[in-house]
Amino acid sequence: MKTYEQIVQEWQKHDIITAADVEVYLENFRILFAYHSNVIENSKITYHDTREIFEHGRVSNYTGDLRTLYEIENQKICYEYLKKKIVAKEPLSQVLILRIHKLLMRGCYDEARYAKGERPGQYKKTMYVVGDETGVEPEDVPGEIEFILKQVYQEKTGDVLTAAAYLHLNFESVHPFADGNGRAGRTILNYYLLTQGYPPVIIYEEDRKTYYMALALFDKTDEISAFKKFLKEETEKTWNFKGAKRIPL
């Protein structure tokens, strides 16, 4: 089994110059990531439906709700949108974050949120309770996100994994959107890792309790070491043989 350090070293041997290169190295990853990131939020998501939409653009004999299909398709659309930006190593910005959220949450806001003026691709306009947390006040979101990005790109450039953990934990703590914060946050996390020359990571649905515990610990203590350790473990799980699906390096 490869260690995290070995996985990073092997990943950095890849010559990713074009969007086609991204497609080659993320061929299996993109489907598994979309499945696990979505099923954490929606238990009706299946790997079969995710694979069918990514590979064929449709599903057959589907009897579920329309939002579930949107959630899967949106992951594919967002992935396609980000490929060239990954190659260009475009830094994260508020404009890009809002675009990612708009793509991921297209057709997924309920009537109650629409009635409050909430829209995909826009920061929240009211407060929402998530577990014991509510995030920051809506008027403070732009400033908080800008501060996080400044810290990531100017203060924590020496250690990519630390910066990635800081980025994800703070983004989720701010809770900038009315819905879709988890999906957007996990996509943003991997976008940052890829643009820094590091392998992306799947946060597996079966590890969601550990994931949520690390988020809660940060909210109470500002401690990121537990989540950084968790990211290392999930990266090893992602890029080593696990179960029926293997993502080859």
Q: Does some domain include residue 9?
A: no
Cβ burial, residue 96 (10 Å; 0-12/13-18/19+): middle
Q: Does some domain include residue 129?
A: no
CB 123 within 8 A of CB 140: no
d(CA 221, CA 47): 36
Q: Does some domain include residue 68?
A: yes
Q: Does some domain include residue 39?
A: yes
- How sure is the predictor about 180, in pLDDT bands with cuts at 50, 70 and 90? very high
* Span 29-49, pLDDT tens digits: 999 999 999 999 988 888 988
Q: Does position 198 have pLDDT exceeding 70, yes or no?
A: yes
Q: Does some domain include residue 209?
A: yes
Q: Does some domain include residue 127?
A: no
CATH of the domain at 111: 1.10.3290.10
Q: Does position 130 have pLDDT exceeding 80, yes or no?
A: no
CB 123 within 8 A of CB 176: yes
pLDDT mean over 200-224: 94
Q: Does some domain include residue 184?
A: yes
Query: What is the residue range of 184's domain?
Result: 16-120+135-239
CB 165 within 8 A of CB 231: yes
DSSP label at residue 91: P
Phi, psi of 130 (to 5 degrees): -125, 105
* Residue 72 Cα to chain centre, angstroms: 13
pTM for this model (two decimals): 0.93
Between 172 and 244, residue with greater pLDDT: 172
Tally of domains in the chain: 1
Q: Does some domain include residue 201?
A: yes
